[in-house]
Structure 1
């Protein structure tokens, strides 16, 4: 029996013990009641035995949940996690940080869609918490140009790959923190907070009055009981009036408490935890008590009726709500640092898990040299049996030719994703990777949006223009363009494409452009090299090897494909004649 099965067996055993003691408690209560009714009140003392039995049931429940957490963590290591993801919630932090850090470079929406990075994210994401998945998403959209940051990320990923026991401890704490069902914590920490209010003094007063009345009832009789009911009615009115205003923040407060508690535990969990995180967790939580406040606020609406009436009588939620708001206002910067550090820790452990499941990968070597890359046997993260390709470029660009379905677009995406991985997760899907730091922009699949009155060509032109505007002399730009200006006529397309490629190569860019226009390969700047993909068409159909080759595509397989599909011989023969005439002009 392997270790995971042992954990599963232990979880089942703890569950049996838990329900056993719960059943024993119920039997003891029933037996004590029957014996007390029939044989004497002294048997009611049997109810006291319920306390240790319930204590033991809670003990075994804790053990059961511990083994369940460890089983999930260990059995899922190195594997893709198939679960539904709400990208609207996941991207909230990225959207706030885009505004907050507007001077940084982020992958724009067009490039994100071109590289299908939502699907790539799902493959990478093995996080256990809301901050974890949000920070991983943000990493994927924020290429880094600072060597020190990337070195630290790489060291932490390697650390958790090689320190299994500590990794299990950290992941267990992250597992208990978990994900917020509906992500409101991001707005709570980065959005607009509810305004401060002097109502908290009224709430505190109305919470003290019931205590005074309860103390006075034994001495002065039932009249004070009437006053207590009257105060309960007033507090119930206050509670209902402010319930909607507060309830939308209660989940955030609860999760905030869990966040602070997790940070405090991780700050002292093990001396071997990287000091970078220990310092952030301990320094930024030492004065924060919102975890205790949030725990009190966290009573669930519609839960225990008695607890709910006590909350109303003493206005517990209302008082603690403003207490947490005050503390959050005071320590908001510290809480943001904790949130980001927890998320980064979770995200980098997720990358360590991702690495474990790969056939092969490498850690990139990045340099400050001008526009270069040398990648050996890179592959795409979403293809099950990928064909690996290599590429080497020095201060130039590439014009890529070949027929549809031969592999051009997949190669462009593979290249772009690996360059992005190099500057985000320090993990390239290749045997080796050496290259410059790049801003990354693409135009692979611009949409023809008739609903807003845009033609396909206009969409292409806007997509390419944003690439041109991004080119500057400070940071080289990797420009990936598939079928430039396919939405217009050949003469204007080829002429404009040639001028744009010349412009890009002169403005600190490394353009990788796929095209069907073989004429373009003859008129572009001499610094462009030509590569192509090809295929073979025979009686059995299309055959692709998806391997990149140096040079210009020599095949005319489009007509062969028409013949294979059964087009009339007259169409095939006349098409060949027309092509011969055009090429011989």
Structure 2
């Protein structure tokens, strides 16, 4: 029996004992009552036995949940997690950080869509918490240009790959914290808070009055009971008035309490936890008490009828709510640091898990030299049984030729994703990766937009323009373009493309461009090297090997493909004649 099966068996055993003691408590209560009624009141003392029985049931429940968490953590390690993801919620933190850190470079929406990074994220995401998935998403859209940050990320990833016991402890804490169902915690920490109000003093005053009236009733009679009912009615009106304002923040407050408690436990979990995170957890939570108040608001929200009326009488929810808001306002920066640190731990452990399931990978070697890239046997993260390709570029660019479906677009995406991985998760899908620090922009699949009256060509032109505008800055730009200006006529397309490629190569960029226009290979700057993909079309169909080759595509297989699909022989014959005439001019 493997270790995961042992955990599963232990969970089932703990569940059996938990229910056993619950049933034993029920039988004890039943027989104590029956015997007390029929044989004597001394048998009511049997109810006392329920206390240790319930205590034992809670104990075994805790053990059951512990083994359940460990089973989930261990059995899912190194495996893709198939679950539905709400990217609208996941990207909330990224959107706030874009505003806060507006001077930094972020992967824009066009490049994000070109590289299908939503699908890539789903493959690498093995996080257990809301901060974890949000930080991992933000990492993927924020390439790093600081060597020290990348070194620390590599160290943390390697640390958790090699320290299984501590990893299990940390992941257990993250598992208990979990994901917030509605994911409003991000707005709570980065968005606009409810305005500061002096109402808390009024609520405190209205909570003291019932206490005074209750004390006065034994001494001055029922008239004070009437006053107490009158105060209850007033406080019910106050409660209804502020119910919506408070209820919409209950989930966030509950998760905030869980966040702080998790950080406090992680700060003391083990001396071997990297000091960078340990120091953040300890120093930023030592003065925060909002976790208790947040938990109080949550428990008040879910109380029974009697408790609910008591909470209304003493305005417990309202008073605790403003207590949490005051503390959140005071310690907001500390809570943000804690949120990001927990998210980073979760995200980097996720990458350690992702590495475990890969056929092979490498840690990139990045340099400050001008525009260079040397990658051996890289592959795409979304393709099963991928064909690996290698490429080496030094202070130049590449023009790729080849027919449709031969592998050009996949190669572009593979190269772009590996360049992005190098500067984000320190894990490249290749045998080796050496390259410069790049800003990464692409134009692979710009689309037309009929709703705003934008043609395909205009969409292409705008996508390429944003690349051109980004190539005059200090950091080199990796420009990945597929079928430049395919939405216009050949004469203007080739002329404009040649000028743009010459401009890019002169302005601190490394362009990788795919095209069907073989004439373009003759018109571009000499610093461009030509590569191509090819295929074979015969009676059996299309055959691709998806391997990159140096040079210009020597074959014209578009007409062969038409023939294979069954086009009339007349069309095939006349098309070949036209092509021969054009090429012989």
Bin the TM-score by the shorter chain: over 0.9
Cα distance change on mapping 1:300 and 1:377 into 2, 3 Å: farther
Listed as ranges, the matches of 1:239-258 within 5 Å are 239-258=239-258
Measure the CA separation in 1 of the matches of 2:277 and 2:269: 11
Measure the CA separation in 2 of the matches of 1:57 and 1:277: 36
Measure the CA separation in 2 of the matches of 1:7 and 1:236: 50
The Cα offsets for residues 82-136 of structure 1, whole Å up to 9 and x where unpaired, read as 1111100100000000010000000000000000000000011100100000000
Across the aligned residues of Structure 1 and Structure 2, the Cα RMSD in angstroms comes to: 1.0
Tell me the SS of whatever aligns to 1:479: strand
Measure the CA separation in 2 of the matches of 1:45 and 1:213: 37
Measure the CA separation in 2 of the matches of 1:30 and 1:348: 53
Structure 1 partner of 2:195: 195
Listed as ranges, the matches of 1:113-512 within 5 Å are 113-299=113-299, 301=301, 303-512=303-512
1:47: how far off?
1.5
Tell me the SS of whatever aligns to 2:433: strand
Query: Do 2:300 and 2:317's aligned partners in 1 also have CA atoms closer than 8 Å?
Result: no
186-195 vs 25-34, which deviates more?
A: 25-34
Query: Do 2:368 and 2:436's aligned partners in 1 also have CA atoms closer than 8 Å?
Result: yes
Consecutive unaligned residues in structure 2, runs of 5 or more = none
1:229: how far off?
2.3
Runs of 4+ in 1 over 4 A off after TM superposition: none
1:313: how far off?
1.8
Measure the CA separation in 2 of the matches of 1:201 and 1:407: 69
Query: Do 2:537 and 2:560's aligned partners in 1 also have CA atoms closer than 8 Å?
Result: yes
Query: Do 2:376 and 2:391's aligned partners in 1 also have CA atoms closer than 8 Å?
Result: yes
Tell me the SS of whatever aligns to 1:288: coil
1:302: how far off?
5.4
The Cα offsets for residues 250-299 of structure 1, whole Å up to 9 and x where unpaired, read as 11111111111111111111000000001111111111110111111112
1:206: how far off?
1.6
Structure 2 partner of 1:14: 14
Measure the CA separation in 1 of the matches of 2:228 and 2:21: 40
1:34: how far off?
1.2
Measure the CA separation in 1 of the matches of 2:162 and 2:146: 25
Question: Aligned residues, how many?
Answer: 585
The Cα offsets for residues 230-266 of structure 1, whole Å up to 9 and x where unpaired, read as 2222211111110001111111111111111111111
1:185: how far off?
0.6
Tell me the SS of whatever aligns to 2:36: helix
1:316: how far off?
1.1
Structure 2 partner of 1:66: 66
508-517 vs 470-479, which deviates more?
A: 470-479
1:24: how far off?
1.3
Measure the CA separation in 1 of the matches of 2:216 and 2:514: 86
Listed as ranges, the matches of 1:13-32 within 5 Å are 13-32=13-32
Measure the CA separation in 1 of the matches of 2:37 and 2:192: 61
The Cα offsets for residues 142-186 of structure 1, whole Å up to 9 and x where unpaired, read as 000000000000000000000000000000111111110001111
Measure the CA separation in 2 of the matches of 1:473 and 1:462: 19
The Cα offsets for residues 28-68 of structure 1, whole Å up to 9 and x where unpaired, read as 11111111221222222221211111111111111111111
Consecutive unaligned residues in structure 1, runs of 5 or more = none
Tell me the SS of whatever aligns to 2:529: strand
Tell me the SS of whatever aligns to 2:400: strand
1:303: how far off?
4.5
1:202: how far off?
1.2
Cα distance change on mapping 1:220 and 1:33 into 2, 3 Å: farther
299-308 vs 69-78, which deviates more?
A: 299-308
Tell me the SS of whatever aligns to 1:50: helix
Measure the CA separation in 2 of the matches of 1:308 and 1:55: 26
Tell me the SS of whatever aligns to 1:337: helix
Tell me the SS of whatever aligns to 2:559: helix
Tell me the SS of whatever aligns to 1:299: helix
Measure the CA separation in 2 of the matches of 1:395 and 1:307: 72
